[in-house]
Protein backbone atom coordinates (compact mmCIF):
# COMPACT_ATOMS: atom_id res chain seq x y z
CA UNK A 1 0.00 0.00 0.00
CA UNK A 2 2.84 2.39 0.85
CA UNK A 3 4.42 1.67 -2.53
CA UNK A 4 1.12 2.46 -4.27
CA UNK A 5 0.69 5.72 -2.32
CA UNK A 6 4.28 6.68 -3.15
CA UNK A 7 3.53 6.23 -6.82
CA UNK A 8 0.30 8.27 -6.56
CA UNK A 9 2.01 11.22 -4.90
CA UNK A 10 5.22 11.00 -6.92
CA UNK A 11 5.82 14.18 -8.94
CA UNK A 12 4.82 13.78 -12.58
CA UNK A 13 8.35 14.55 -13.80
CA UNK A 14 9.82 11.80 -11.61
CA UNK A 15 7.18 9.30 -12.74
CA UNK A 16 7.93 10.11 -16.39
CA UNK A 17 11.66 9.74 -15.75
CA UNK A 18 11.13 6.34 -14.10
CA UNK A 19 8.87 5.13 -16.90
CA UNK A 20 11.44 6.21 -19.48
CA UNK A 21 14.19 4.35 -17.61
CA UNK A 22 12.07 1.19 -17.41
CA UNK A 23 11.31 1.36 -21.14
CA UNK A 24 15.01 1.63 -21.95
CA UNK A 25 15.89 -1.28 -19.66
CA UNK A 26 13.12 -3.44 -21.11
CA UNK A 27 14.69 -2.87 -24.52
CA UNK A 28 18.12 -3.93 -23.18
CA UNK A 29 16.75 -7.23 -21.86
CA UNK A 30 14.64 -8.03 -24.91
CA UNK A 31 17.00 -10.94 -25.85
CA UNK A 32 15.90 -12.70 -22.63
CA UNK A 33 12.22 -11.90 -23.05
CA UNK A 34 10.81 -15.27 -24.11
CA UNK A 35 8.28 -17.78 -22.84
CA UNK A 36 9.55 -20.92 -24.59
CA UNK A 37 13.07 -21.24 -23.20
CA UNK A 38 15.51 -20.21 -20.47
CA UNK A 39 16.45 -16.60 -19.84
CA UNK A 40 17.59 -14.78 -16.74
CA UNK A 41 16.82 -12.62 -13.75
CA UNK A 42 17.76 -8.95 -13.34
CA UNK A 43 18.10 -6.69 -10.33
CA UNK A 44 19.25 -3.06 -10.36
CA UNK A 45 19.72 -1.23 -7.07
CA UNK A 46 20.30 2.49 -6.54
CA UNK A 47 20.76 4.10 -3.13
CA UNK A 48 19.54 0.92 -1.47
CA UNK A 49 16.30 0.76 -3.49
CA UNK A 50 15.47 -1.85 -6.12
CA UNK A 51 14.67 0.37 -9.13
CA UNK A 52 14.32 -2.44 -11.69
CA UNK A 53 13.84 -6.17 -11.28
CA UNK A 54 12.39 -8.83 -13.52
CA UNK A 55 12.57 -12.51 -14.34
CA UNK A 56 12.75 -13.49 -18.01
CA UNK A 57 12.12 -16.86 -19.64
CA UNK A 58 11.95 -20.19 -17.85
CA UNK A 59 13.74 -21.41 -14.73
CA UNK A 60 12.79 -24.96 -15.74
CA UNK A 61 12.08 -25.72 -19.37
CA UNK A 62 10.90 -29.23 -18.50
CA UNK A 63 8.19 -27.93 -16.16
CA UNK A 64 7.51 -24.61 -17.94
CA UNK A 65 8.34 -22.89 -14.63
CA UNK A 66 8.86 -19.16 -15.06
CA UNK A 67 12.00 -17.39 -13.88
CA UNK A 68 11.02 -15.56 -10.69
CA UNK A 69 12.63 -12.61 -8.94
CA UNK A 70 13.62 -14.96 -6.11
CA UNK A 71 14.90 -17.74 -8.38
CA UNK A 72 18.22 -19.16 -7.21
CA UNK A 73 20.98 -19.47 -9.81
CA UNK A 74 24.55 -20.73 -9.88
CA UNK A 75 26.69 -17.60 -10.39
CA UNK A 76 29.93 -19.37 -11.34
CA UNK A 77 33.09 -17.37 -10.70
CA UNK A 78 31.19 -14.50 -9.10
CA UNK A 79 31.52 -16.88 -6.12
CA UNK A 80 35.23 -16.10 -5.78
CA UNK A 81 34.73 -12.88 -3.81
CA UNK A 82 33.03 -14.84 -1.01
CA UNK A 83 35.94 -17.28 -0.84
CA UNK A 84 38.38 -14.35 -0.63
CA UNK A 85 36.29 -12.73 2.12
CA UNK A 86 36.39 -15.99 4.08
CA UNK A 87 40.20 -15.91 3.93
CA UNK A 88 40.33 -12.30 5.13
CA UNK A 89 37.93 -13.10 7.97
CA UNK A 90 40.19 -15.95 9.07
CA UNK A 91 43.17 -13.62 8.92
CA UNK A 92 41.27 -11.16 11.12
CA UNK A 93 40.70 -14.05 13.56
CA UNK A 94 44.46 -14.71 13.59
CA UNK A 95 44.14 -18.22 12.09
CA UNK A 96 46.27 -17.49 9.03
CA UNK A 97 48.12 -14.76 7.16
CA UNK A 98 47.77 -14.04 3.47
CA UNK A 99 51.59 -13.95 3.44
CA UNK A 100 51.73 -17.63 4.50
CA UNK A 101 53.25 -20.15 2.11
CA UNK A 102 50.42 -22.26 0.71
CA UNK A 103 52.35 -25.40 1.64
CA UNK A 104 51.99 -24.49 5.32
CA UNK A 105 48.28 -25.29 5.01
CA UNK A 106 48.38 -27.83 2.15
CA UNK A 107 51.66 -29.75 2.61
CA UNK A 108 50.76 -32.35 -0.04
CA UNK A 109 51.37 -29.77 -2.77
CA UNK A 110 54.74 -30.19 -4.51
CA UNK A 111 57.72 -28.03 -3.57
CA UNK A 112 58.21 -25.69 -6.51
CA UNK A 113 61.35 -23.66 -7.22
CA UNK A 114 59.50 -20.60 -5.91
CA UNK A 115 57.14 -20.74 -2.89
CA UNK A 116 53.53 -19.66 -3.45
CA UNK A 117 51.81 -17.30 -0.99
CA UNK A 118 48.09 -17.23 -0.13
CA UNK A 119 47.69 -13.68 -1.48
CA UNK A 120 49.04 -14.92 -4.84
CA UNK A 121 46.22 -17.47 -4.99
CA UNK A 122 43.74 -14.66 -4.32
CA UNK A 123 45.11 -12.41 -7.05
CA UNK A 124 45.79 -15.05 -9.76
CA UNK A 125 49.53 -14.36 -9.64
CA UNK A 126 50.57 -17.75 -8.19
CA UNK A 127 51.64 -19.39 -11.45
CA UNK A 128 49.86 -22.61 -10.45
CA UNK A 129 48.23 -24.39 -13.38
CA UNK A 130 44.46 -24.26 -13.73
CA UNK A 131 42.93 -27.58 -12.71
CA UNK A 132 40.05 -27.30 -15.18
CA UNK A 133 42.59 -26.96 -17.98
CA UNK A 134 44.63 -29.92 -16.71
CA UNK A 135 41.59 -32.19 -16.53
CA UNK A 136 40.37 -30.97 -19.92
CA UNK A 137 43.70 -32.01 -21.46
CA UNK A 138 43.08 -35.45 -19.95
CA UNK A 139 39.71 -35.57 -21.70
CA UNK A 140 37.50 -34.75 -18.71
CA UNK A 141 34.01 -33.45 -19.48
CA UNK A 142 32.52 -30.71 -17.23
CA UNK A 143 29.45 -32.89 -16.73
CA UNK A 144 31.58 -35.75 -15.38
CA UNK A 145 32.16 -36.40 -11.68
CA UNK A 146 35.21 -34.76 -10.09
CA UNK A 147 36.01 -34.61 -6.38
CA UNK A 148 38.51 -32.87 -4.12
CA UNK A 149 40.91 -35.81 -3.76
CA UNK A 150 41.24 -36.23 -7.53
CA UNK A 151 42.20 -32.58 -7.92
CA UNK A 152 44.72 -32.65 -5.06
CA UNK A 153 46.34 -35.82 -6.47
CA UNK A 154 46.69 -34.21 -9.89
CA UNK A 155 48.16 -31.02 -8.39
CA UNK A 156 50.63 -33.08 -6.36
CA UNK A 157 52.06 -34.50 -9.62
CA UNK A 158 52.81 -31.10 -11.14
CA UNK A 159 56.52 -30.41 -11.55
CA UNK A 160 56.47 -26.74 -12.54
CA UNK A 161 54.52 -23.53 -12.31
CA UNK A 162 53.31 -21.56 -15.30
CA UNK A 163 55.60 -18.73 -14.18
CA UNK A 164 57.42 -17.40 -11.12
CA UNK A 165 54.83 -16.15 -8.60
CA UNK A 166 54.00 -12.42 -8.70
CA UNK A 167 55.70 -11.91 -12.07
CA UNK A 168 52.56 -12.36 -14.20
CA UNK A 169 48.76 -12.50 -13.99
CA UNK A 170 46.95 -15.59 -15.25
CA UNK A 171 43.38 -16.30 -14.18
CA UNK A 172 43.41 -19.60 -12.30
CA UNK A 173 40.55 -21.58 -10.76
CA UNK A 174 43.05 -23.77 -8.89
CA UNK A 175 43.91 -20.82 -6.66
CA UNK A 176 40.37 -20.54 -5.36
CA UNK A 177 39.96 -24.30 -5.11
CA UNK A 178 43.02 -24.26 -2.82
CA UNK A 179 41.70 -21.26 -0.86
CA UNK A 180 38.58 -23.28 -0.05
CA UNK A 181 40.80 -26.10 1.28
CA UNK A 182 42.75 -23.57 3.36
CA UNK A 183 39.50 -22.24 4.86
CA UNK A 184 38.56 -25.80 5.80
CA UNK A 185 41.90 -26.61 7.40
CA UNK A 186 42.24 -23.29 9.23
CA UNK A 187 38.67 -23.21 10.57
CA UNK A 188 37.77 -26.89 10.89
CA UNK A 189 34.67 -26.23 8.78
CA UNK A 190 33.95 -26.57 5.09
CA UNK A 191 33.89 -23.36 3.08
CA UNK A 192 30.11 -23.68 2.84
CA UNK A 193 29.74 -23.99 6.60
CA UNK A 194 32.18 -21.20 7.35
CA UNK A 195 30.62 -18.80 4.84
CA UNK A 196 27.11 -19.61 6.14
CA UNK A 197 28.09 -18.79 9.74
CA UNK A 198 30.31 -15.79 9.04
CA UNK A 199 28.90 -14.15 5.89
CA UNK A 200 25.47 -15.33 4.77
CA UNK A 201 23.72 -15.58 8.12
CA UNK A 202 25.02 -12.26 9.53
CA UNK A 203 23.92 -10.46 6.34
CA UNK A 204 20.54 -12.20 6.13
CA UNK A 205 21.41 -13.92 2.85
CA UNK A 206 18.93 -16.72 3.50
CA UNK A 207 18.83 -18.05 -0.08
CA UNK A 208 22.59 -18.27 -0.59
CA UNK A 209 24.81 -21.32 -0.22
CA UNK A 210 27.85 -23.07 -1.64
CA UNK A 211 26.60 -26.29 -3.21
CA UNK A 212 29.10 -28.77 -1.75
CA UNK A 213 27.13 -31.80 -2.89
CA UNK A 214 25.47 -32.21 -6.25
CA UNK A 215 22.63 -34.18 -4.64
CA UNK A 216 21.44 -31.38 -2.34
CA UNK A 217 17.93 -30.07 -2.96
CA UNK A 218 17.95 -26.29 -3.38
CA UNK A 219 14.33 -25.19 -3.43
CA UNK A 220 13.65 -22.48 -5.98
CA UNK A 221 16.78 -23.30 -8.00
CA UNK A 222 16.78 -22.58 -11.73
CA UNK A 223 18.31 -25.20 -14.02
CA UNK A 224 20.75 -24.51 -16.87
CA UNK A 225 20.52 -25.12 -20.61
CA UNK A 226 22.15 -24.57 -23.98
CA UNK A 227 20.82 -24.44 -27.52
CA UNK A 228 20.51 -27.83 -29.23
CA UNK A 229 19.36 -27.13 -32.75
CA UNK A 230 15.84 -25.78 -32.57
CA UNK A 231 15.39 -26.99 -28.99
CA UNK A 232 17.24 -26.89 -25.67
CA UNK A 233 19.56 -29.35 -23.93
CA UNK A 234 19.63 -29.58 -20.13
CA UNK A 235 23.03 -29.30 -18.45
CA UNK A 236 23.49 -31.02 -15.10
CA UNK A 237 26.73 -30.78 -13.13
CA UNK A 238 28.23 -33.65 -11.14
CA UNK A 239 31.00 -31.46 -9.76
CA UNK A 240 31.45 -31.47 -5.98
CA UNK A 241 33.95 -28.63 -5.69
CA UNK A 242 33.57 -25.12 -4.28
CA UNK A 243 35.75 -22.07 -3.85
CA UNK A 244 36.23 -21.08 -7.47
CA UNK A 245 32.49 -21.41 -8.11
CA UNK A 246 29.31 -23.28 -7.07
CA UNK A 247 27.67 -20.43 -5.12
CA UNK A 248 23.89 -20.32 -5.55
CA UNK A 249 22.10 -17.08 -4.76
CA UNK A 250 19.40 -14.53 -5.66
CA UNK A 251 19.49 -10.91 -6.77
CA UNK A 252 18.05 -9.92 -3.38
CA UNK A 253 20.83 -11.62 -1.43
CA UNK A 254 23.48 -10.13 -3.70
CA UNK A 255 22.04 -6.67 -2.99
CA UNK A 256 22.65 -7.33 0.73
CA UNK A 257 26.23 -8.36 -0.05
CA UNK A 258 26.88 -5.17 -2.03
CA UNK A 259 25.36 -3.14 0.78
CA UNK A 260 27.97 -4.68 3.08
CA UNK A 261 30.74 -3.71 0.69
CA UNK A 262 29.67 -0.10 1.26
CA UNK A 263 29.50 -0.47 5.05
CA UNK A 264 30.98 -3.62 6.55
CA UNK A 265 29.11 -5.54 9.25
CA UNK A 266 31.13 -8.76 9.08
CA UNK A 267 33.81 -9.95 11.49
CA UNK A 268 34.73 -7.13 13.83
CA UNK A 269 32.80 -4.66 11.69
CA UNK A 270 35.98 -2.91 10.60
CA UNK A 271 36.11 -1.15 7.21
CA UNK A 272 39.63 -2.60 6.90
CA UNK A 273 38.09 -5.96 5.99
CA UNK A 274 36.45 -4.63 2.82
CA UNK A 275 39.50 -2.49 2.06
CA UNK A 276 41.59 -5.68 1.97
CA UNK A 277 39.04 -7.34 -0.31
CA UNK A 278 39.30 -4.33 -2.65
CA UNK A 279 43.10 -4.24 -2.60
CA UNK A 280 44.43 -4.96 -6.08
CA UNK A 281 47.60 -6.90 -6.81
CA UNK A 282 51.00 -5.57 -7.75
CA UNK A 283 53.63 -7.58 -9.61
CA UNK A 284 57.30 -7.67 -8.66
CA UNK A 285 57.93 -5.36 -11.61
CA UNK A 286 55.79 -2.72 -9.93
CA UNK A 287 52.97 -3.11 -12.43
CA UNK A 288 49.55 -2.76 -10.80
CA UNK A 289 46.82 -5.21 -11.77
CA UNK A 290 43.04 -4.62 -11.80
CA UNK A 291 42.29 -7.79 -9.79
CA UNK A 292 41.45 -7.68 -6.07
CA UNK A 293 39.82 -10.32 -3.84
CA UNK A 294 37.72 -12.18 -6.40
CA UNK A 295 36.86 -8.82 -7.97
CA UNK A 296 37.98 -6.75 -10.93
CA UNK A 297 38.34 -3.03 -10.19
CA UNK A 298 37.98 -1.04 -13.40
CA UNK A 299 35.95 1.73 -15.01
CA UNK A 300 32.93 1.84 -17.28
CA UNK A 301 32.99 5.01 -19.36
CA UNK A 302 34.97 6.78 -16.63
CA UNK A 303 32.81 5.51 -13.74
CA UNK A 304 34.56 3.32 -11.16
CA UNK A 305 33.26 -0.25 -11.28
CA UNK A 306 33.78 -3.29 -9.04
CA UNK A 307 32.72 -6.39 -10.97
CA UNK A 308 33.08 -10.06 -11.70
CA UNK A 309 31.47 -12.41 -14.17
CA UNK A 310 30.87 -16.13 -14.00
CA UNK A 311 30.03 -19.11 -16.20
CA UNK A 312 29.24 -22.70 -15.35
CA UNK A 313 27.71 -25.03 -17.90
CA UNK A 314 24.62 -23.05 -19.04
CA UNK A 315 24.73 -20.49 -16.21
CA UNK A 316 26.14 -17.04 -16.92
CA UNK A 317 26.30 -14.18 -14.45
CA UNK A 318 27.62 -10.71 -13.79
CA UNK A 319 27.53 -8.59 -10.64
CA UNK A 320 28.63 -4.96 -10.99
CA UNK A 321 28.88 -2.31 -8.28
CA UNK A 322 29.48 1.38 -8.93
CA UNK A 323 30.43 2.58 -5.44
CA UNK A 324 30.62 6.32 -6.22
CA UNK A 325 27.08 6.26 -7.61
CA UNK A 326 25.74 3.66 -5.13
CA UNK A 327 24.42 1.55 -8.00
CA UNK A 328 24.51 -2.23 -8.38
CA UNK A 329 23.53 -4.29 -11.44
CA UNK A 330 22.92 -8.04 -11.21
CA UNK A 331 22.23 -10.18 -14.28
CA UNK A 332 22.06 -13.96 -13.81
CA UNK A 333 21.20 -16.18 -16.78
CA UNK A 334 20.59 -19.89 -17.45
CA UNK A 335 20.48 -19.96 -21.26
CA UNK A 336 24.02 -21.07 -22.12
CA UNK A 337 25.03 -17.70 -23.61
CA UNK A 338 27.15 -14.76 -22.47
CA UNK A 339 24.12 -12.48 -22.16
CA UNK A 340 24.44 -12.35 -18.39
CA UNK A 341 27.64 -10.35 -18.96
CA UNK A 342 26.92 -8.27 -22.04
CA UNK A 343 23.45 -7.19 -20.88
CA UNK A 344 24.88 -6.16 -17.51
CA UNK A 345 27.08 -3.59 -19.21
CA UNK A 346 24.28 -2.34 -21.45
CA UNK A 347 21.95 -1.92 -18.46
CA UNK A 348 24.61 -0.08 -16.47
CA UNK A 349 25.15 2.34 -19.36
CA UNK A 350 21.43 3.12 -19.33
CA UNK A 351 21.23 3.66 -15.55
CA UNK A 352 24.42 5.74 -15.45
CA UNK A 353 23.76 7.69 -18.64
CA UNK A 354 23.38 11.06 -16.90
CA UNK A 355 26.52 10.52 -14.83
CA UNK A 356 28.56 9.48 -17.88
CA UNK A 357 27.26 12.41 -19.94
CA UNK A 358 28.18 14.86 -17.17
CA UNK A 359 31.79 13.65 -16.95
CA UNK A 360 34.32 15.85 -18.76
CA UNK A 361 35.91 14.21 -21.76
CA UNK A 362 39.70 13.96 -21.52
CA UNK A 363 40.10 13.32 -25.23
CA UNK A 364 37.81 13.36 -28.22
CA UNK A 365 36.51 9.84 -28.93
CA UNK A 366 37.50 8.30 -32.24
CA UNK A 367 33.95 7.08 -32.86
CA UNK A 368 30.76 8.47 -31.38
CA UNK A 369 28.43 6.01 -29.73
CA UNK A 370 24.89 5.34 -30.81
CA UNK A 371 22.11 6.94 -28.78
CA UNK A 372 21.31 3.66 -27.04
CA UNK A 373 24.87 3.37 -25.69
CA UNK A 374 25.99 0.58 -28.01
CA UNK A 375 29.31 0.85 -29.83
CA UNK A 376 29.11 1.94 -33.43
CA UNK A 377 29.72 -0.76 -36.03
CA UNK A 378 30.99 -0.30 -39.54
CA UNK A 379 30.89 -2.64 -42.54
CA UNK A 380 34.18 -3.62 -44.12
CA UNK A 381 34.86 -4.45 -47.74
CA UNK A 382 36.33 -7.76 -48.82
CA UNK A 383 39.67 -6.06 -49.49
CA UNK A 384 39.74 -4.60 -45.96
CA UNK A 385 38.99 -7.99 -44.38
CA UNK A 386 41.38 -10.07 -46.50
CA UNK A 387 44.62 -9.21 -44.61
CA UNK A 388 42.95 -10.02 -41.28
CA UNK A 389 42.02 -13.61 -42.15
CA UNK A 390 44.36 -16.18 -40.65
CA UNK A 391 45.87 -17.32 -37.36
CA UNK A 392 47.19 -14.94 -34.74
CA UNK A 393 49.20 -16.06 -31.70
CA UNK A 394 48.94 -14.22 -28.37
CA UNK A 395 52.25 -13.86 -26.53
CA UNK A 396 50.74 -15.30 -23.34
CA UNK A 397 50.05 -18.99 -22.81
CA UNK A 398 50.32 -19.84 -26.50
CA UNK A 399 46.71 -18.80 -27.18
CA UNK A 400 45.81 -18.68 -30.88
CA UNK A 401 42.96 -16.66 -32.38
CA UNK A 402 41.75 -17.82 -35.77
CA UNK A 403 39.95 -15.16 -37.84
CA UNK A 404 37.59 -16.43 -40.55
CA UNK A 405 34.71 -15.07 -42.59
CA UNK A 406 31.29 -16.72 -42.48
CA UNK A 407 29.20 -15.06 -45.14
CA UNK A 408 29.06 -11.41 -44.09
CA UNK A 409 30.11 -12.22 -40.51
CA UNK A 410 33.66 -12.01 -39.21
CA UNK A 411 34.34 -14.79 -36.70
CA UNK A 412 37.12 -15.09 -34.10
CA UNK A 413 37.90 -18.43 -32.46
CA UNK A 414 40.35 -18.52 -29.57
CA UNK A 415 42.18 -21.64 -28.42
CA UNK A 416 39.76 -24.13 -26.89
CA UNK A 417 36.69 -21.89 -27.34
CA UNK A 418 33.77 -21.64 -29.77
CA UNK A 419 33.89 -19.13 -32.61
CA UNK A 420 32.18 -15.82 -31.80
CA UNK A 421 31.23 -13.01 -34.13
CA UNK A 422 33.32 -9.84 -33.82
CA UNK A 423 32.33 -6.38 -34.97
CA UNK A 424 34.44 -3.72 -36.66
CA UNK A 425 34.63 -0.34 -34.95
CA UNK A 426 37.34 0.79 -37.37
CA UNK A 427 39.07 -1.11 -40.20
CA UNK A 428 41.62 -2.42 -37.66
CA UNK A 429 39.72 -2.42 -34.34
CA UNK A 430 37.20 -5.15 -33.42
CA UNK A 431 35.09 -5.96 -30.38
CA UNK A 432 33.02 -8.84 -29.04
CA UNK A 433 29.43 -8.46 -27.86
CA UNK A 434 29.35 -11.70 -25.87
CA UNK A 435 32.20 -10.64 -23.58
CA UNK A 436 34.12 -7.45 -22.76
CA UNK A 437 37.15 -7.94 -24.99
CA UNK A 438 38.56 -6.38 -28.11
CA UNK A 439 41.60 -6.52 -30.34
CA UNK A 440 43.34 -4.07 -32.61
CA UNK A 441 45.61 -4.80 -35.56
CA UNK A 442 48.71 -2.70 -36.16
CA UNK A 443 49.44 -1.46 -39.67
CA UNK A 444 53.19 -1.30 -40.30
CA UNK A 445 54.91 1.50 -42.20
CA UNK A 446 54.93 -0.67 -45.32
CA UNK A 447 51.16 -1.15 -45.04
CA UNK A 448 51.33 -4.78 -43.90
CA UNK A 449 49.58 -6.17 -40.82
CA UNK A 450 51.83 -8.48 -38.83
CA UNK A 451 50.27 -8.31 -35.36
CA UNK A 452 48.40 -6.23 -32.85
CA UNK A 453 47.11 -6.11 -29.28
CA UNK A 454 44.34 -8.03 -27.48
CA UNK A 455 42.54 -6.21 -24.63
CA UNK A 456 40.55 -7.84 -21.80
CA UNK A 457 40.11 -7.15 -18.06
CA UNK A 458 42.67 -4.35 -18.13
CA UNK A 459 45.31 -6.58 -19.75
CA UNK A 460 47.05 -5.74 -23.01
CA UNK A 461 48.46 -8.81 -24.76
CA UNK A 462 50.46 -8.48 -27.99
CA UNK A 463 49.80 -10.97 -30.78
CA UNK A 464 51.52 -11.83 -34.06
CA UNK A 465 50.56 -13.50 -37.32
CA UNK A 466 51.32 -17.18 -37.75
CA UNK A 467 52.65 -17.88 -41.27
CA UNK A 468 51.47 -20.90 -43.25
CA UNK A 469 53.73 -23.96 -42.93
CA UNK A 470 53.76 -27.27 -44.79
CA UNK A 471 55.84 -30.05 -43.11
CA UNK A 472 58.09 -32.40 -45.04
CA UNK A 473 57.65 -36.18 -44.97
CA UNK A 474 60.73 -36.51 -42.73
CA UNK A 475 59.36 -33.94 -40.27
CA UNK A 476 56.08 -35.85 -40.04
CA UNK A 477 57.88 -39.16 -39.46
CA UNK A 478 60.16 -37.59 -36.85
CA UNK A 479 57.23 -36.33 -34.77
CA UNK A 480 55.24 -39.58 -34.91
CA UNK A 481 55.28 -41.71 -31.77
CA UNK A 482 53.88 -42.12 -28.25
CA UNK A 483 54.40 -39.51 -25.54
CA UNK A 484 53.92 -39.94 -21.77
CA UNK A 485 53.22 -37.25 -19.17
CA UNK A 486 53.85 -38.17 -15.53
CA UNK A 487 52.24 -34.85 -14.54
CA UNK A 488 48.95 -35.89 -16.15
CA UNK A 489 49.43 -39.66 -15.94
CA UNK A 490 48.44 -40.09 -19.59
CA UNK A 491 49.80 -41.18 -22.97
CA UNK A 492 49.25 -39.21 -26.17
CA UNK A 493 50.07 -40.64 -29.58
CA UNK A 494 50.92 -39.00 -32.88
CA UNK A 495 50.21 -41.52 -35.66
CA UNK A 496 50.62 -41.13 -39.39
CA UNK A 497 47.28 -41.56 -41.17
CA UNK A 498 47.04 -40.88 -44.92
CA UNK A 499 50.33 -39.00 -44.82
CA UNK A 500 49.29 -36.70 -41.99
CA UNK A 501 49.72 -36.80 -38.21
CA UNK A 502 46.74 -37.80 -36.10
CA UNK A 503 46.68 -37.00 -32.36
CA UNK A 504 44.89 -39.45 -30.05
CA UNK A 505 44.82 -39.96 -26.30
CA UNK A 506 42.06 -42.53 -25.80
CA UNK A 507 39.81 -39.98 -24.11
CA UNK A 508 38.40 -38.15 -27.12
CA UNK A 509 38.10 -38.58 -30.90
CA UNK A 510 41.40 -38.34 -32.82
CA UNK A 511 42.39 -34.90 -34.11
CA UNK A 512 44.52 -33.77 -37.06
CA UNK A 513 46.99 -31.14 -35.82
CA UNK A 514 47.91 -28.03 -37.79
CA UNK A 515 51.61 -27.34 -38.16
CA UNK A 516 52.61 -23.87 -36.96
CA UNK A 517 56.27 -24.38 -37.81
CA UNK A 518 58.75 -27.26 -37.79
CA UNK A 519 58.77 -27.38 -33.98
CA UNK A 520 55.18 -26.57 -33.07
CA UNK A 521 51.73 -28.04 -33.79
CA UNK A 522 48.22 -26.97 -32.81
CA UNK A 523 45.22 -29.21 -32.10
CA UNK A 524 42.03 -29.07 -30.06
CA UNK A 525 42.80 -25.72 -28.49
CA UNK A 526 46.33 -26.81 -27.51
CA UNK A 527 49.79 -26.24 -28.92
CA UNK A 528 52.53 -28.87 -28.89
CA UNK A 529 56.14 -27.68 -28.75
CA UNK A 530 58.47 -30.44 -29.95
CA UNK A 531 61.61 -30.95 -27.82
CA UNK A 532 64.75 -32.03 -29.62
CA UNK A 533 68.12 -33.48 -28.63
CA UNK A 534 71.32 -31.85 -29.91
CA UNK A 535 71.26 -34.06 -32.99
CA UNK A 536 67.72 -32.93 -33.84
CA UNK A 537 65.95 -36.11 -32.70
CA UNK A 538 62.58 -35.40 -31.09
CA UNK A 539 62.69 -36.57 -27.46
CA UNK A 540 59.42 -35.16 -26.16
CA UNK A 541 57.04 -32.24 -26.27
CA UNK A 542 55.78 -29.41 -24.10
CA UNK A 543 52.02 -28.94 -24.21
CA UNK A 544 50.55 -25.45 -23.98
CA UNK A 545 46.85 -25.27 -23.12
CA UNK A 546 46.00 -21.70 -22.19
CA UNK A 547 46.05 -21.69 -18.38
CA UNK A 548 48.48 -24.60 -18.17
CA UNK A 549 51.80 -24.20 -19.95
CA UNK A 550 54.88 -26.36 -20.53
CA UNK A 551 53.30 -29.67 -19.52
CA UNK A 552 56.05 -32.24 -20.07
CA UNK A 553 55.59 -35.30 -22.32
CA UNK A 554 58.46 -37.74 -22.82
CA UNK A 555 58.68 -39.63 -26.12
CA UNK A 556 58.56 -43.36 -25.44
CA UNK A 557 59.69 -44.71 -28.80
CA UNK A 558 62.64 -42.59 -29.89
CA UNK A 559 64.18 -43.63 -33.21
CA UNK A 560 67.70 -42.49 -34.03
CA UNK A 561 69.89 -40.31 -31.86
Fold of the 473-555 domain: Lipocalin (2.40.128)
pLDDT classification of 417: cutoffs 50, 70, 90 = low
pLDDT at 366: 44
Instruction: Answer whether 382-466 and 473-555 agree in fold.
Output: yes
SS3 category, 30:
helix
Query: Which pTM was predicted?
Result: 0.85
HSE-up of 441 (CA within 13 Å, CB side)? 24
- Which tens digit of pLDDT belongs to each residue from 109-122? 999 999 999 999 99
CATH for the stretch 382-466: 2.40.128.50
pLDDT classification of 306: cutoffs 50, 70, 90 = very high
In the chain, pLDDT over 90 holds for what percent of residues? 72
Give the residue extent of every domain in the chain. Answer: 74-358, 382-466, 473-555
CATH of the domain spanning 74-358, picked from 2.60.40.3880, 3.30.413.10, 3.40.710.10, 3.90.950.10 = 3.40.710.10
CB burial of residue 327 (10 Å; 0-12, 13-18, 19+): buried
**8 A C-beta contact, residue 272 and residue 88:** no
**8 A C-beta contact, residue 68 and residue 55:** yes
Q: Give every strand in the sheet of 73-74, ordered side by side.
A: 73-74, 247-249, 209-210
Instruction: Give the residue among 176, 326, 332, 313 at the shortest CA–CA distance from 254.
Output: 332
Task: Examine the pLDDT at 475 and tell me if it is beyond 90.
Answer: yes
- Which tens digit of pLDDT belongs to each residue from 107-159? 999 999 999 999 999 999 999 999 999 998 998 887 788 889 999 999 999 99
Task: Examine the pLDDT at 363 and tell me if it is beyond 60.
Answer: no
Amino acid sequence: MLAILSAIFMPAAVQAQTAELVDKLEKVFEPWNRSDGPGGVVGIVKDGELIFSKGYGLASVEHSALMRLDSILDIGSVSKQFTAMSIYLLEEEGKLSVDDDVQKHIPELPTFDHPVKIHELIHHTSGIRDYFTLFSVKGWNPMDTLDEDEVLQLLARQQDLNFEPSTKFMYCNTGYFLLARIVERASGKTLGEYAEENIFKPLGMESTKFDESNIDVIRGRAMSYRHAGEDWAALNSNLELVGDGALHTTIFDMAKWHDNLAKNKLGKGSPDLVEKLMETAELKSGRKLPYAGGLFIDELEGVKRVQHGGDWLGFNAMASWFPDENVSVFTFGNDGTQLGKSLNKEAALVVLADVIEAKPEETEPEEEEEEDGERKEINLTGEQVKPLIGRWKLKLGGLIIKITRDGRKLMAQATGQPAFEVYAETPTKFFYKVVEAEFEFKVEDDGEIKGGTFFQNGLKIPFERLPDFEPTEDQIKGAAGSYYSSELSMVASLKIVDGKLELSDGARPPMTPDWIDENQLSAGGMTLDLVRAKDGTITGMLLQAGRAVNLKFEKLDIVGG
